[in-house]
Chain A
Amino acid sequence: MEELQKKRSRIMDSRPDVSTIAVCCGTGCQAFGGEKVAQAFREKIAESGLQNSVAIKTTGCHGFCERGLLVVIRPQNIFYQRVRLEDVDEIFNETVINGKIIERLLYITPDGSSKITSEEEVPFYKKQMRLIFGANGNIDPAEIDDYIAIGGYSAIAKVLSSMKPEQVIEEVSAAGLRGRGGGGFPAATKWKSTREAEGEPKYVICNCDEGDPGAFMDRSLMEGNPHSILEGMIIGAYASGSNTGFIYIRNEYPLAVKNAEIAIRQAEEYGLLGENILGSGFNFSVHINRGGGAFVCGESTALMASIEGKVGEPRAKYVHTSERGLYDRPTVLNNVETWANVPLIINRGSAWFASICTENSKGTKIFSLVGKINNTGLVEVPMGITLREIIYEIGGGIPDGKRFKAVLTGGPSGGCIPENLLDLPVDFDELTRVGSMMGSGAMIVMDEDNCMVDIARYFLKFLEEESCGKCVPCREGLKRMRQILDDICEGKGEESHLELLEEMSAAIGDGALCGLGQTAPNPVLTTLKYFRDEYISHIVDKKCPAGVCKALISYHIVNENCTSCRLCVKKCPVGAIEFVDKKIPVVIHQDLCTKCGACKETCKFNAVEIR
C-alpha cells in the first residue's frame, strides 16, 4: 500500500510542469482525425526539439462530440474546438510557443456574443457535474501512471488495508448506489447476496454490452478511463468474495477492447490485479469477453450464457443470478458506469455521495444527448436535474429554430416524453412513473420533423430483429405489432388497431420471458398516450404530419422559389425531375419519384417541399 503511495509521489515528481497538448481521441473525434492530429503535434514537438517542455496526451472522449475535434492546451486550459489537421501548425506556433490564443478556434456562445477560452466556462460543461467522466480529458487511457497521478487506485488501497468486505458493502449501501445499466437495482444488495450465497467460485462481471442504439457513455468510459472501472471491479470482487472477473464488451467497440486489455496488463504489472494484490492476500483476475452483436446479450442471463460460449438466450431468473449466475455460480453483474462510481464512494464517503441526490436516486448519471439537439455529446449531471435544464441549458436547445417535440429516454425499453413533462426531475422513479425509464442513459431529442408513429415502429423493428426468438409473445408478438405499425405508416391503418396495440402491449409486457420483450411495448404505449393525435392523422386523414412516412407524402416544387438551376435534375437518381425551360420551374414526375429526398437536400432555394 505504501508502495502505491510512493509510486504516486514518484510519478508526480517525474512530471515537471510542462505544457500539455491534450488531443481527444474518443471515437467521435477520431472520425475527425484525432490520431492524425496527435501525430502531427508529435512531429512538431520533435522538429522543434521541445520534447522536454511540451507533452502530448491522447485522451478519451471529453463529451462535447458536436464540437470535435477537441484540443486542450494546459496549464493555461485553452479550449479549442473543431480543430482540423490544417490547424496544427498554427496552434503549435501561436499558442504552444508564443502563448497567443487563436480566436477562430474558440467556442462562441450560440448568441454570438462572446468567445470562451477555458473548458469549464463553456455552457455545455458549466451545468454538468463531471465526477465520473471528468477525468477522461486529463488522462491517457493507455497510461496507468496517469490514473495513479490523479489519485487512482487509492480506493482499493484503502479498502484492502482498512475495510472488511462487509464494511465495503455497508458503505456502498449507505451511499445508495443504484445500477446504471437500466434497472436501477441497488448494487450493494447484489454484492451482499452473492457474498452470502453458497457455491464457489464466485464471479463478478462488468456489462459493457451497451446495445441501446444511441447510448455511448459506457464505451467512452471504457475507452477513456478503463482503470476506474477495474478499480471498481476489484473492490466489488473483494466485497462479494470473488476472485474472477469478466468484462463483456460489445463487438462494435474495438477501441474499448484494446484499452481494457492494456489496462488489465498494466494493472497486473503493478500488482493491482493477480495474486496477492498490494500484499493483502486478496487475489483477483479479470478476463475480457467480446460480444457477437446481439442486443439481448446485455440482459444478464443471456450475457452469462454468451460468456459460457453459448447462444445468448435468456432464461427465467426465479433464482437471482447473484445466487446462481455464470456457470450456475453466484455472480455479481454491474454496468460499466456503476463500477466506475465505486472508487468515488470509497474515496469520498457514502454521506458525500448520498448528498448529491433526490430522495431515491443518488449521485450523477451520464447521458448521451443526441438527435435534434445543438450540443450533441455526453453529459454527466446530478440526479434530480430537470429534463429541461439538460436539453436547453446544457444541450443548447433544438437546431435550426425548430420546435421540440419529444425526448426519448431509456432506449428501446423506454418511452417518449412530451414537452409538458420537461420539468420532470431525472430520477429512476420519476421516469418510470411517466411510462419511460432511466435505462442506460440515451436521451434522444426529437423535433417537429420527427414522426412519432415512425419512431415507435423504428423501435419495434429494432427489437423484432434483436429478439432472441425463444418465447412466443416476443418473437411472434413484436412482429405482429410492427406489421400493424407498418400498415398505419402506409395509410392502411384502422382505428381499431390502436386498441389492439394496447391490448397486445399489455399481454407481451406480462408474458414475455425477459426484459427485452417485457419492456418492448413501452415506446408504443408512450407515443399512443402522448401523441395519439399523430396516429389518428395517419389512420383517419391518411397524413403524416411530420412528413416522414413515405407512403403518405410526396415531393413538390414550390414554383415561386424554383430558379430552374437544374441542380436537382442532375442529382435525382431516377430521373424523375424534368427540366422544361430556363424560365419555367422544373417538374417532378410523381410516378417516377422514389421519395429519396435528394432534391430537397440539394436545392439551394428552398423550392422543394414535402406535402
Chain B
Amino acid sequence: MITLKIDGREINAEPGKTVLEAARENNIYIPTLCVNEAVAAYGACRLCMVEVTRGNRKRLVASCLYEVAEGLVVETRTERVVNIRRLVMELLLARCPNSSEVIEMARSMGIDSSRFQSEEDDNSCVLCALCTRVCREVVGKSAISLVGRGTNRKVALPFCEDTDACIACGSCVYVCPTGAIKMEDNGDVRRITWPSSTHEFKMKKCASCGSYFAPEKQISFMIQKTGLEAEKFDLCMNCRP
C-alpha cells in the first residue's frame, strides 16, 4: 500500500492505481468527461487536472493518468486547477450550447454561461473519444474513428459512410456522455446517427415471437466470437428457454 495525501487527507492506495481512482475510492470528487472503466484512460478533456507535489516539484497533471506514489501530495481545488476546469467547461458550453449534459455538468461546477460565442451548428459531441475507444478496445471492431485533426476533428465512419465493420451493437451510443450519438429501433431496422452521418441496419426476427430483437450483423459477430451454433441465436431473450 502507498500512502498519499489528497486535499490534506491521508489516504492509502494500491500501487499502480491512478490518483483519480484513489480519490474516487475515498469519495473525493474530481470531475471527468473522458474516463470510463471500460477503456484505458486517455487524458483528453483535462477536467481531472490536479496539482501534485513530489519532493519539491509542483506540477499540474491529469489525475486519470497520473499514478499514485509514496508521499505524493495532491490538491484538487487550487486556483490553477479551478481556472482550467472553468475554461474547459466554458469552451464546451460554447461548442455544445444545446447539450443538456454539458449544461448540467457546468452548472454543477458553478458555471452558468460561457464568455465565448455559441457554435451555430447543433453539436453535442465533445470529442472525448469514448465511443471510438469502446468500439476498438471493447467491441474490437474499430468501425468508427476520429477523423481529421484539430478543430476539424469529428467522429466518423471511414469515408463517412463505410459501415462494413460496424455491427450496429450500439456500444458507442451507450458510452457517450453527452448523447451525441443517437439510436432508434423501428421494426426491422436500427438507425444509428453519428455526428457525421446516419445509417440503417437490418434487425433479426425472433423465430418464435416474431419481434425484432438484435441487429443481424451483431448476431453473426456473436456466432463467430462464441463459436456456438447459429440456431442458438434464433430466439429473442424473452423466448429463450
Q: How far is the CA of A466 from the CA of B148 in the complex (A)?
A: 11
Instruction: Please state if B84 and A318 are interface contacts (CB–CB under 8 Å).
Output: no
- Is A506 engaged at the interface, CB distance under 8 Å to the other chain? yes
- Is B39 engaged at the interface, CB distance under 8 Å to the other chain? no
The A430-468 residues at the B interface (CB cut-off 8 A) are 464-468
Given contacts A294-B149, A511-B49, is CB(A470)–CB(B87) below 8 Å?
Answer: no
Instruction: Please state if B62 and A513 are interface contacts (CB–CB under 8 Å).
Output: yes
Question: Which residues of the other chain, A, contact B183 by a CB distance below 8 angstroms?
Answer: none
Instruction: Please state if A476 and B91 are interface contacts (CB–CB under 8 Å).
Output: yes
- Is B233 engaged at the interface, CB distance under 8 Å to the other chain? no
B interface residues (Cβ-Cβ under 8 A, vs A): 42-46, 49, 60-62, 65-67, 80, 83-84, 86-88, 91-92, 94-95, 115-117, 126-127, 129, 146, 148-153
The A105-132 residues at the B interface (CB cut-off 8 A) are none
- Is A601 engaged at the interface, CB distance under 8 Å to the other chain? no
Residue from A311, A318, A475, A507 within 8 A of B87 (CB atoms)? A507
Instruction: Please state if A511 and B153 are interface contacts (CB–CB under 8 Å).
Output: no
Interface of B is mostly: mixed
Q: How far is the CA of A294 from the CA of B150 in the complex (A)?
A: 11
Instruction: Please state if B153 and A475 are interface contacts (CB–CB under 8 Å).
Output: yes
Q: Can you name 19 A-B pairs with beta carbons within 8 Å?
A: A316-B61, A316-B65, A318-B66, A464-B151, A471-B44, A472-B45, A473-B46, A473-B88, A473-B91, A476-B95, A476-B151, A480-B91, A503-B83, A507-B83, A507-B84, A508-B87, A511-B46, A511-B49, A511-B84
Instruction: Please state if B84 and A510 are interface contacts (CB–CB under 8 Å).
Output: yes
Number of A-B residue pairs, CB cutoff 8 Å, is: 95
Instruction: Please state if A472 and B46 are interface contacts (CB–CB under 8 Å).
Output: yes
Known contacts A470-B44, A503-B87, A512-B46; 18 additional CB pairs below 8 A are A316-B43, A467-B149, A469-B149, A472-B45, A472-B126, A473-B91, A475-B127, A475-B150, A476-B91, A476-B95, A477-B91, A480-B94, A483-B116, A483-B117, A503-B83, A507-B84, A511-B87, A513-B44
- Is A570 engaged at the interface, CB distance under 8 Å to the other chain? no
Instruction: Please state if B46 and A471 are interface contacts (CB–CB under 8 Å).
Output: yes
Instruction: Please state if A506 and B153 are interface contacts (CB–CB under 8 Å).
Output: no
Q: How far is the CA of A315 from the CA of B94 in the complex (A)?
A: 26
Question: Which residues of the other chain, A, contact B67 by a CB distance below 8 angstroms?
Answer: 318
Interface string of A468-491 (1 = CB under 8 A from B): 111111011101100100000000
Q: How far is the CA of A469 from the CA of B126 in the complex (A)?
A: 11
Nearest A residue to B86 via CB reads A507
Question: Which residues of the other chain, A, contact B43 by a CB distance below 8 angstroms?
Answer: 315-316, 471, 513
What's the least CB distance linking A306 to chain B, in Å? Answer: 12
Q: How far is the CA of A480 from the CA of B206 in the complex (A)?
A: 52
Given contacts A472-B46, A510-B83, is CB(A466)–CB(B66) below 8 Å?
Answer: no
Instruction: Please state if A473 and B84 are interface contacts (CB–CB under 8 Å).
Output: yes
Nearest B residue to A481 via CB reads B116
Residue from B46, B65, B80, B127 within 8 A of A469 (CB atoms)? B127
Given contacts A472-B92, A513-B62, is CB(A504)–CB(B45) below 8 Å?
Answer: no
What's the least CB distance linking B182 to chain A, in Å? Answer: 23
Q: How far is the CA of A471 from the CA of B64 in the complex (A)?
A: 14
Q: How far is the CA of A503 from the CA of B91 in the complex (A)?
A: 13
- Is A500 engaged at the interface, CB distance under 8 Å to the other chain? yes
Question: Which residues of the other chain, B, contact A469 by a CB distance below 8 angstroms?
Answer: 127, 146, 148-153
Given contacts A466-B150, A469-B149, A469-B152, is CB(A510)–CB(B60) below 8 Å?
Answer: yes
What's the least CB distance linking A467 to chain B, in Å? Answer: 4
Instruction: Please state if A506 and B83 are interface contacts (CB–CB under 8 Å).
Output: yes
Q: How far is the CA of A23 from the CA of B152 in the complex (A)?
A: 45
